[in-house]
Structures are given as C-alpha cells and as structure tokens.
Structure 1
Amino acid sequence: MIFHAIGLMSGTSLDGLDICFVKFEKTHSWSFEIIKAETVSYSENLYNDLKHAIDLSAAQLLELHSAYGFFLGQTVKRFIEKYEIKNVDLIASHGHTVYHQPQKKFTLQIGDGRAIRLETGIPVVYDFRSQDVLMGGNGAPLVPIGDELLFSEYDACLNLGGFSNISLRSAGKRVAFDIAPVNIVLNQLAQNLGKDFDENGTLARNGNINEELLSALNELSFYHQPHPKSLGMEWCHENIFPRLENVDSLDALATITEHSAYQIAEVITNNRLKNILFTGGGTYNQYLIEKIQNKTQAEIIIPEKEIIDFKEALIFALMGVLRLNNEINVLSSATGSAHDHSSGIIA
C-alpha cells in the first residue's frame, strides 16, 4: 500500500505552520519519504490572533476557527501549486491548540477542516484530540503511534517544542507524556528582551540561575504525578508566569532552561534510556542540549534538519492515513484513554 499525504502542524510556540508532504509505504512495516516540507511564518496579525485566542469571546473564537481553517486551506493550496504536487490522498491537520483541559473533558484545536477541504478539494482529517479526551484520555501526546511505527529503533523519542514530551517503550507498551514547558516560556522571555526567541540559548547562557525560583519550579506537583499526563498553556499561566514576574528576564531564561534540562534529564535517567532521538525547535538551543547532556549518560541523537523540523507534521500525516483506513492511530498507553482507537473527523 502506498499513500501520499500532507501533514499540517502548528505548535504552541507559534513559530509558523509546518507543512510536510510524505509518501508512505506499508509492506511488513511502515516506511516514509519526506518529498517536500516547509514552514510558513505567520503574519503579525495572525500571530497575535492565535497568541491571544485564549482571551477571545465565544463568537470571536468561532470566527477565528473558521478564518484560520480557510488560511490553512489557502496555504496548502499554494504549497501544492508551488511544488507542482499532483497526487495527494489526504490532508491531516492538527490545528492550533487554544484550550486543553482533559480533566474537564475538553480540548480545542482551531482551524476548521471543512474549510481546508473547501479550499483544496482534498479529503481532510482533523480534530485528532477530542475523541481521546471524551474517552477519559489526556488527548496527548499523540505522536507515539508514529514513534512506534516509524522510529522504533530508538529507546525513546523526545520532542522539544512549546513543551517537551517523550515516548518510550515500557513493559511492552508505548508510553508517553509531557515533561516540562520549554519554548512556550523561553520564547516569551526572549520577546521581553526584544528577540523572537533565544537563539542557541545565548541569552540564557548570560543569565544567572535563580536557585530559589528553580527549587519552587521543581517542586510543582505536576512533576511528581505519574504518567500519562499533559500540559497546556493554562497550566503555564497558573504555575509558571506568575513566578517570573519579578525576576530579571535573563535570569528567568537561565532558570527556566536549567529547570527544563533538569526535568528532562530526570526522565531519561529514571527510565534508564541509552539513546534518544531529539526533535523539535528546541533541539537548536545548544545551551539547553548541553545542559541535558551534562546531566545524563544517555546518547542524544540529533537527526537531519528535515526530521528535527517536521517530525510532528510527518506523524500527523501518518495519523490521517491510519484514520482513513480505520486503523488505530491513538495509543491508550500514551494518553490514558479507555482503549486504543482511530481518531479524527473526516471532511
């Protein structure tokens, strides 16, 4: 079986829309080839709309849900024309997360898949998380199915995005969970200093670690809870940002970087992992990678740029293919839902 799919991913760190056109082939196992991929930066207006979506009224949020869906469709259409792509079986869209409160049985990723379908004329799979949350799961992380089917040669796969998350095999099952905030906080602190992000971790390297703050962060109850578990922007607004209000931004960057590295290294050490595939934008933060490496004996494997940047979009493309074939694309061992299932709305 051969499938050609486009995966769309917009992360919580708002660094743009990842578009990944992939050829999948299934024989005895799944294999993939990334044919074309690019990140489309958001306009200043759209960036601000998405960043502040959590503060919108219901009517404004519904308007953005529709508008962002049409934006996704138009952007994919341009991508297809630009690269003269002829054969696309489906588009799989993660959408952009605004709310994520699985304990209250809801999560919201905006970007109406029906609008993408109308713009492109191609079948669309979207809203991958809601079904899992309704089934008692965290709705996250979802990428473990891709780690299991495409990257099983590694002890674990660790993503450094808005949040860090990991997936690994434990007692014969693929488990996964969020570890700690990363770029969702680091980018905000860098912006306070007039930078879009902390390139290579240079700003953090020049700050001083606030030991009292570091201790308080490491004591947060989330880190002592068993998995499965997941984080959202609301958690940061409640637990992280208030603690940073009276801290120098450079020192806050240094402390959050140390905090993230500590929590990540703890997970690596506690699970006795020998080699870990690192992906996501945070992989380019040399200071953060150094901090993690200094705290663990494990081998950190950093793949080619295409995998670093587009692994999540790649896996959502696979999830869309699995959904169209009514195959399992969400693992209950990773999310905590009642059972494995095939999730996503098909437009």
Structure 2
Amino acid sequence: MSKVYRVLGLMSGTSLDGVDAAVIETDGERIHAFGPSLTLAYSDQQRSVLMDATQAALSWNFLGPPPNIFAEAEDALDDTHRQAIRELDAGSVDLIGYHGQTVLHRPDQLKTLQLGRGQGLTDQFECPCVYDFRSEDVAAGGQGAPLAPIYHKALVERANLAGVTAVLNLGGVGNVTIITGDEILATDTGPANGPLDSFLERRGLGFDIGGAVSEAGLADFKIVEGWLTADFFQRAWPKSADRYDFDVIDDLAQASVADGAATLCAYTALSASRTIAQMGRRPDRVIVCGGGRRNRTIMTMLALELGCPVQPAEAFGWDSDAIEAQAFAFLAVRVLLGLPNSFPTTTGVSTPTVGGQIAYPSSSRGSRGGE
C-alpha cells in the first residue's frame, strides 16, 4: 500500500486578499482525508508591498536586474505564510507545498516568477518544502497553468461523480478543468474577480462578495463582446493568463458603479462559458470554486450561459476556500514521488512534467525522489 503523507499546502492568489493554508492526507493519487484549513488576510501594508512588487514586475518584464522591491515583498510573503502555519496549528506534517506569489507570468517568453523562499520555511519548521511549481513546465514550453487539474480529478473521483464534470475556479483569473473518466482537459478561461476587484477599488469600494453591487446594475454586453475579441480569446487552449492581461476598467470610466460591476461579471461569465464550449465537452454539471462562487450575479449569468446545473463547491462537500491550498499539498507529494503535475491537455507542455523544487532541512538535504 502506498505511503499516505500528511501535507500542508499554502496558496496566495493574484487577488492578493490573503494566504490560504490547508492540510490533507494523500498518497499523491487519492485524497485519504481532509485536515484543518484557514485563510489569513494580508495587512494593508503587506498587500500594498505585494501590489507594488507586481506593478514593478510588469515594468521589469524579465529585462535587466530584478527590482529591489522583490526582496521586501518576499519578506512580507514569507512572514505571512509563517504566521498562517503557526495559526493553523496543524501538528506534525511530512511535507509543505508552498505556491508563493505570482508577480509575472510570461509563458510566451518561457518565463514565470513566483516569489517565496521555500528554504526559509523548511529551515524554520524543519520539514521538506516543495516550491516553484510552475517554472519547469514553462521552460518546457507549457503554459505553467493551471496546475490544480490533477487535484480536481482526485476531488471528482472522491465524490463519485459520473459523466462530464467541469470544475471552474474563479480567483483573480478563471480556470476550468473538465473531467471525463481518466480524461483531464484544462485551461485558463480569462478574467474572474481581478478586474471587478480593481474596478471597485478604484471607485473606493471593497469586494462585491455577495454580488449586491453588480446585481443592481445592467451589463453592457456590447462592451463585453468587444473585450472578447482580444488575442487571449482567439488562441487555442490550453492557454494561461495573467490577471493584468484583462485590464479593461478604463473602458468603464463613464459607467455607474453598479453597471460597471455587472458588465465585469458578464465578462467573467461569458469568457468562461465560451472557453468551455471551445473545449468540445458539454458538461453535465459545473462546480464553481474560488471567490467568484459567492457572487450571485456571476453564478446566475453562468447558469444562463452554460445550460446545465452550476453549483458552488460546498454542494459537494468541498471546502472551496481551501481547494487551491489543498491542491498544492497534493502536488507537493507528487513532486516528491516524481509524479507529473502538468500534462499536454492541461498546460500544453509536450510531455507530462513533474515541476517543483524541494528544499530539505539542512540536516537532510538531498535531491528529489520518492521515499
């Protein structure tokens, strides 16, 4: 029987709202048990530093020496993740999966950058840490995203769902996994909460978590159709995107807050539904995770566009707020065992790729491999 590992996964998404931490027990193929989880919000100062680092990365674009603010951002990032680990109080774990913070993603240049020092977590908690999950896939010609599909497959198998299941994650950027038996198809779909959050922040408001702001508005579908002619939507899948690939909010300068929010919700829903149609598999159900599942406007629009049941992850007993952190715990075990995390039908990489670096405690440093 395969060894079952108790693993702590850590995730910080492009929405920059905080750190998700979660524990699962897995052998790298199946989920044996779910453990505790939590979300730790960034302080205003930490979020400001991470936003500044992201803006600096966009200007840098891998040309010349990295901006000095990256070191400051890594300090803030590592400190918050250490605090999340302490607050979770998960007890003993065999392994840590540390996603880090994506500040620049340019697969067309064969480059991607996630800040976060895996060795620092390893040395403090005296536990091996897997990090830098995306670089190897990108260097091999893959999109480097999405990486959660193999975990989505494990979730669907655990729930004994037959037929065609689409798992749609709506974070800063949207991505979808379509699972039919052993077949896994995946791609980024386009914008999710990123443009909506930026729009509301510019208007001096917080997140439209329940969809109350957008629910009161009227979407401008003419503008949305124009946005959907962008290069990203014309490319074949699998494809990946950066949150700032969908920087459209200047087009809403004359819109009311409610109408602008509704228009951005329509942008999310239509980009997701059209990408799913492009993939050629008609889902029997769509399971939505990520912050977007809480937005009633997005969920209603998705149901109208997709013509099948659209339900939040909680309807299947999944903890949506923890799924991405759980995924990187699952992926960490696969890296340890030399099992692939990305595939031609999920990132476009030519052959299945493991991805990820392993940092070992100073007393037992070694190379990647099974135990």
Corresponding residue of 1:167: 177
Kept in 2, the 8 Å contact 1:99–1:233? The answer is: no
Task: Indicate yes or no: 2:46 matched with 1:38.
Answer: no
**Distance between the aligned counterparts of 1:66 and 1:50, measured in 2?**
9
Residue aligning to 1:17 = 19
Percent identity of equivalent pairs: 28
Deviation at 1:72, TM superposition (A): 4.5
Q: Match of 1:11, as an amino acid?
A: G
Contact 1:200–1:286 (CA<8 Å) still a contact in 2? yes
Structure 2 contact 98–130 (Cα < 8 Å) conserved? yes
Matched, 1:196 2:206: yes
- Contact kept, 8 Å, 1:11 with 1:96, in 2: the verdict is yes
**Residues of 2 paired with 1:67 and 1:45: CA distance?**
12
Q: Quick check: 1:204–1:251 contact (8 Å CA) kept in 2? A: yes
- Aligned amino acid, residue 42 of structure 1: Y
The number of residues matched between the two structures is: 340
Structure 1 residue 253: Cα displacement: 1.0
State yes or no: 1:122 paired with 2:127.
yes
Instruction: Return 333-342 or 242-251, whichever deviates more.
Output: 242-251
1:223–1:156: structure 2 CA closer, same or farther, 3 Å change rule?
same
AA in 2 matched with 1:201:
G
* Deviation digits for residues 244-270 of structure 1 (CA, Å, limit 9, x no counterpart): 344443322111111211222234455
**1:299 aligns to what?**
309
Residues 74, 116 of structure 1: 8 Å contact kept: yes
Q: Report the CA distance between 1:33 and its aligned residue.
A: 2.0
Aligned residue type for 2:25: K
**Paired residue secondary structure (2:303):** helix
CA drift of 1:163 comes to 1.3
Distance 1:119 1:89, change over 3 A: same
Q: Give how far 1:272 is off.
A: 1.2
5+ residue gaps, structure 1: none
**Counterpart of 1:63?**
71
Whichever residue aligns with residue 268 of structure 2, its letter is: S
| Runs of 4+ residues over 4 Å off in structure 1 | none
Cα distance in 2, alignment partners of residues 271 and 235 from structure 1: 26
Instruction: Pick one of 184, 200, 220 that aligns with 1:210.
Output: 220
Matches within 5 A, 1:210-249: 210-237=220-247, 240-249=248-257
Taking only aligned residues, the RMSD between alpha carbons, in angstroms, comes to 2.2
Task: Tell me the distance in 1 between the aligned counterparts of 2:74 and 2:198.
Answer: 27
| Between 184-193 and 86-95, the greater mean CA deviation after superposition | 184-193
Q: 2:154 aligns with which of 149, 158, 176?
A: 149
SS at match of 1:203: helix
Single out whichever of 203-212 and 178-187 deviates more from structure 2: 203-212
Measure the CA separation in 1 of the matches of 2:191 and 2:32: 30
Residues 157 and 167, structure 1, Cα contact 8 Å, conserved in 2:
yes
Decide which moves more: 332-341 or 130-139.
332-341
- Deviation of 1:220 after TM superposition, in Å, equals 1.9
Please name the residue that 2:323 is paired with: 311
1:297–1:110 CA distance, 2 compared to 1 (3 A): same
1:265 corresponding residue in structure 2:
273
Q: Could you tell me how far apart the structure 1 residues matched to 2:81 and 2:68 are?
A: 20
> By how many angstroms is 1:30 displaced?
0.9
Amino acid at match of 1:287: T
The residue type equivalent to 1:200 in the other structure is G
- Residue 37 of structure 1 aligns with an amino acid whose one-letter code is S
Q: Kindly tell me: are residues 188 and 62 of structure 1, through their superposed partners in 2, closer, same or farther at Cα, counting changes over 3 Å?
A: closer
> In 2, distance between residues paired with 1:12 and 1:77?
20
Letter of the aligned partner of 1:241 in structure 2? I
1:170 Cα deviation after fit: 6.9
Q: For 1:344 and 1:194, locate their aligned partners in 2 and report how far apart those are by CA, in whole Å.
A: 39
User: Where in structure 2 are there 5+ consecutive unaligned residues?
Assistant: 61-65, 360-371
- One-letter identity of the residue aligned with 1:325: L
SS in 1 for 2:210: helix
CA distance in 1, matches of 2:318, 2:86: 20
Q: Is the 8 A contact 1:278 1:301 kept in 2?
A: yes
Say if 2:79 is the partner of 1:79: no
The TM-score, its normalising length taken from structure 2, stands at 0.85
Q: 1:164 to 1:55 in 2, by over 3 A?
A: closer
Give the 3 Å change call, closer, same or farther, for CA 65–51 of structure 1 in structure 2.
Answer: closer
The SS at the match of 2:345 is helix
Does the 8 Å contact 1:192/1:249 carry over to 2?
Answer: no
Q: Alpha-carbon deviation of 1:306?
A: 5.3
Task: Please give the alpha-carbon distance, in whole angstroms, between the structure 1 residues aligned to 2:5 and 2:321.
Answer: 22
Distance 1:332 1:79 in 2: 38
Measure, in 2, the Cα distance between the counterparts of 1:251 and 1:86.
Answer: 48
Contact 2:173 2:243 in 1 (8 A): no
CA distance 1:206–1:306, change in 2 (3 Å): same
Q: Any idea what SS the aligned residue of 2:213 has? A: helix
1:131 aligned residue (136, 161, 178)? 136
Please name the residue that 2:49 is paired with: 49
Q: What's the CA shift string for 1:118-160, capped at 9, x where partnerless? A: 2222110000001100000100010111122332436221111
